[in-house]
Amino acid sequence: MNTLLSLLLLSTATALPSLILPRNNATNTTLPWDAGATTQYPIHDSCNATQRRQIETGLSETIALVDHAKAHILRWGNESSIYRKYFGDRPSFEAIGAYELVSNGNKGNVLFRCDNPDGNCKLDGWAGHWRGTNATDETVICDLSYTSRRSLTTMCALGYTVSGSETNTFWASDLLHRLFHMPAIGQNWVEHFADGYLEAVELAAGNRSVSTRDSEALQYFALEAYAFDIAVPGVGCLGDVEGLGEEQEDDGDDLPDNCHTHEGGEIHCT
């Protein structure tokens, strides 16, 4: 037994060099199939050490948020009342795919920068913006983000409720929204069809096929699943949905019904 084992070991050991050498001969190696993959979201040199650290941490939280959203759907599908609330009877492929792209898609064609190249950061209340036709793959993060966006660890604390608070309360969901605007991630397929909690819920109730690719529905679903499963298990922090109707009626702007102003001033019409 021992002899056999050492013989095996010996023969393996002696066989190794001849097996490995040709493969190590770099003069003609084939690149691995996924050579050049970008697995981390790129952050531009214009971001200083502390800005980079906050954006990186925020993006890690975005990935934690979408990974949980995906896991919740994979486990429960439409048995989940949270799923049915935001996605109704729709099949789960699209929502799972959207979250998966954010988490595991190639990240090369996305860039976060901090140098305010379009000058928009000086506008009141702008925490960042998509560069649109100036650079479709780029997102600018403005200084306001660093003082206003919160860690997911504060989920369900400091007055936050899923239905009553803005989705951009957290770095995780703010950056998720921004990633959905990147053609490499959102593929011009994840869009704005609903604005706010009530409209997102209405989309699903109306069995609209777009609910599973609505930016708001995907953000709200991920936030509510995280609140209910992870932050305060079995309880979450949905907030007072009853009182919401009147409140949202009041903050009317002069845009047509199918349009909304984005955080950052952009106007979206559907």
Ligand X SMILES: *[C@@H]1O[C@H](CO)[C@@H](O)[C@H](O)[C@H]1NC(C)=O
Report the nearest approach of ligand X to the CB of residue 196 (Å): 23
Report the nearest approach of ligand X to the CB of residue 4 (Å): 32
Q: Which of 97, 96, 143, 135 is nearest to 118 (CA)?
A: 135
Provide the 8-state DSSP code for 260. E
Contact characters 51-80, ligand X, x per CB under 6 A: x-------------------------xx--
**Ordered alpha helix ranges (H), the chain:** 2-24, 49-76, 81-87, 93-104, 143-148, 171-181, 183-186, 197-205, 215-226, 244-250
**Given the complex with ligand X, which of 120 and 248 has the nearer CB atom?**
120
**Kindly report the CA angle at 230 between 227 and 235, in degrees rounded to 5?**
55
Any contact of residue 50 with ligand X (CB under 6 A)?
yes
Tokens of 234: 């079995």
Alpha carbons 168 and 215: distance in angstroms, whole number: 12
Taking CB under 6 A as the binding criterion, the range among 35-43, 49-57, 153-161, 234-242 that sits at the site for ligand X is 49-57
What CA–CA distances, in Å, run from 173 to 123, 177, 215? 22, 6, 10
Taking CB under 6 A as the binding criterion, the range among 33-41, 46-54, 217-225, 253-261 that sits at the site for ligand X is 46-54
Tokens of 42: 């790129």
**Given the complex with ligand X, which of 14 and 18 has the nearer CB atom?**
18
Could you say which of 31, 34, 36, 89 contacts ligand X (CB under 6 A)? 89
Contact characters 202-241, ligand X, x per CB under 6 A: -----x----------------------------------
Residues 107-166 that bind ligand X (CB under 6 A): 118, 120, 129, 131-132, 134, 143
Handedness of CA 182, 184, 188, 190 (dihedral sign): negative
Any contact of residue 49 with ligand X (CB under 6 A)?
yes
Residues that bind ligand X (rule: CB under 6 A) add up to a total of 20
Tokens of 188: 């011009």
Residue 12, burial from CB neighbour count under 10 angstroms (0-12, 13-18, 19+): exposed
Report the nearest approach of ligand X to the CB of residue 147 (Å): 9
Any contact of residue 21 with ligand X (CB under 6 A)?
yes
Handedness of CA 188, 193, 196, 202 (dihedral sign): negative
Taking CB under 6 A as the binding criterion, the range among 4-12, 17-25, 34-42, 151-159 that sits at the site for ligand X is 17-25
Could you say which of 14, 27, 29, 153 contacts ligand X (CB under 6 A)? 27
Residues 183-202 that bind ligand X (CB under 6 A): none
**Given the complex with ligand X, which of 155 and 217 has the nearer CB atom?**
217
Tokens of 166: 């803005």
Residues paired with 111 in a beta bridge: 138
Site residues for ligand X per CB under 6 A: 21-22, 25, 27-28, 48-51, 77-78, 89, 118, 120, 129, 131-132, 134, 143, 207
